[in-house]
Amino acid sequence: MSDAELLTLSAILAAMVRAATPLVFAALGELVTERAGVLNLGIEGMMLIGAVAAFAVAHADGGILLSIAAGAAAGMAIAALFAVLALGLRANQVACGLALSLFGVGLSAFLGKGLIGTPIEALPALPLPGLSRIPVIGKALFDHDILVYLSVLAAPAIHLFLFRSRAGLILRAVGENHDAAHAIGYAVLRVRLLAVLFGGAMAGLGGAYLSLTYTPMWVENMAAGRGWIALALVVFATWRPARALLGAYLFGGVTILQLHAQNWGVGVPSQILAMLPYVATIVVLVAISRDESKIKLNAPACLGKVFHSGR
């Protein structure tokens, strides 16, 4: 390959990482929430609230860490609202989640009114010593900001938590069979509340990434459907963190590749390429639905079901 081609390759890889990062955060958060048996469709809303909160703090010169924390906290706060309705009052989770998405779009727009048209400095890149010097992939993979690294580290951390820790086992037990978990003395609602709050914080971080570094600005509805892609990703990943990470990079990659491919003279219409992530999700859904054992192994059995402790 020529130097120019290598440079392009490096640029494409770096862009894939960027495009994937908000999806990684949101999908991993939702994955944990769903593993506890709660279906929260409000990711888009939580991302937007996280984005506007993070931006507001950054705009007020709150500093990097505080801005990021604000994004996570705001996502968590609005997830708490969902928890009150869906867990506390046992309302339908699908309806509450949809409402949360719509509410988040509106509320973030309202809160962000004064922030439109005021740019901020993007989070600084933190090149990893040594690794970022590697030709081509160094610049592409190891020269990003703190949120990118955090998102990548989150996947193994969540994997270890879910499958190698007692708390993770309890969380999965609650998601698989809440009555049994309750019977042996686990506080089903408390576990679910924590899972929902974690999901909210992660979605908020995804939003913070959008408004702090991806496009350092606030505009209404800037998540532009990424919350829904994250939701699809969880199914695509069959509720496994590593696959969610991989899926996010795949989806991010497709988004980026279709932008580049338009000028390579590839004869595929860009609309078709833009549809690919959704098509891939449906294919996975169909594939895992064909084999009952695969669903049983992965999909939390109590996903979306209301828990009544009195029963």
Partner 1 sequence: MSLMRRASLAALLALALGGIGRVQAAEPLKVGFVYVGPIGDYGYSYQHDQGRLAVEKAFGDKVKTTYVENVPEGADAERVIRELAATGHKLIFSTSFGFMNATAKVAKQYPDVKFEHATGYQRGPNLATYMARFYESRFPAGIAAGRLTKTHKLGYIAPFPIPEMVRSINAFALAARSVDPQAEVRVVWVNSWYDPGKEREAAEALIAQGVDVVAQQSDSAAPVQAAERAGVWAIGQASDMTRFGPRAQLTSCMEIWSGYYIDRVRAVLDGTWKPDDTWEGFNKDMVRLAPFNPAIPPAVKAEAEKAEAEIRAKTRHPFAGPIKDRSGKVRVPAGQTLSDAELLKMNWFVEGVVGSLPK
Of residues 116 and 282, the one with the C-beta less far from partner 1: 116
CA atoms of 80 and 95, how far apart (whole Å): 16
Q: Does 169 bind partner 1 (CB under 8 A)?
A: no
**How does DSSP assign 152-208, residue by residue?**
HHHHHHHHHHHHHSHHHHHHHHHHH-HHHHHHTT--HHHHHHHHHHHHHHHHHHHHH
Of residues 247 and 252, the one with the C-beta less far from partner 1: 252
CA atoms of 18 and 306, how far apart (whole Å): 37
CA distances from 118 to 59, 62, 197, 217, 218 (A): 8, 15, 30, 7, 8
From 229, 156, 188, select the one nearest 37 (Cα to Cα): 188
* Structural tokens at position 58: 């950054």
89, 243 contact by CB (below 8 A): no
Q: Does 71 bind partner 1 (CB under 8 A)?
A: no
Q: How far is the CB of 101 from partner 1 (least distance, A)?
A: 14
E-strand ranges in the chain read 126-127, 143-144
Q: Does 113 bind partner 1 (CB under 8 A)?
A: yes
Binding marks (x or -) toward partner 1, 270..289, rule CB under 8 A? xx--x---------------
Q: How far is the CB of 2 from partner 1 (least distance, A)?
A: 12
Q: Pick one of 24, 48, 78, 222: the residue that binds partner 1 (CB under 8 A).
A: 222
199, 29 contact by CB (below 8 A): yes
Binding marks (x or -) toward partner 1, 177..216, rule CB under 8 A? ---------------------------------x---xxx
Of residues 273 and 303, the one with the C-beta less far from partner 1: 273
Q: How far is the CB of 59 from partner 1 (least distance, A)?
A: 13
Q: Does 2 bind partner 1 (CB under 8 A)?
A: no
Q: How far is the CB of 260 from partner 1 (least distance, A)?
A: 5
Q: Pick one of 6, 90, 269, 291: the residue that binds partner 1 (CB under 8 A).
A: 269
* Structural tokens at position 310: 């009195």
Q: How far is the CB of 294 from partner 1 (least distance, A)?
A: 33
- Residue type at 102 in one-letter notation: L
Question: Could you list the residues that contact partner 1 (CB under 8 A)?
Answer: 4, 7-8, 11-12, 15, 18-19, 22, 109, 112-113, 116-119, 122, 210, 214-217, 219-222, 224-226, 255-256, 259-260, 262-263, 269-271, 274
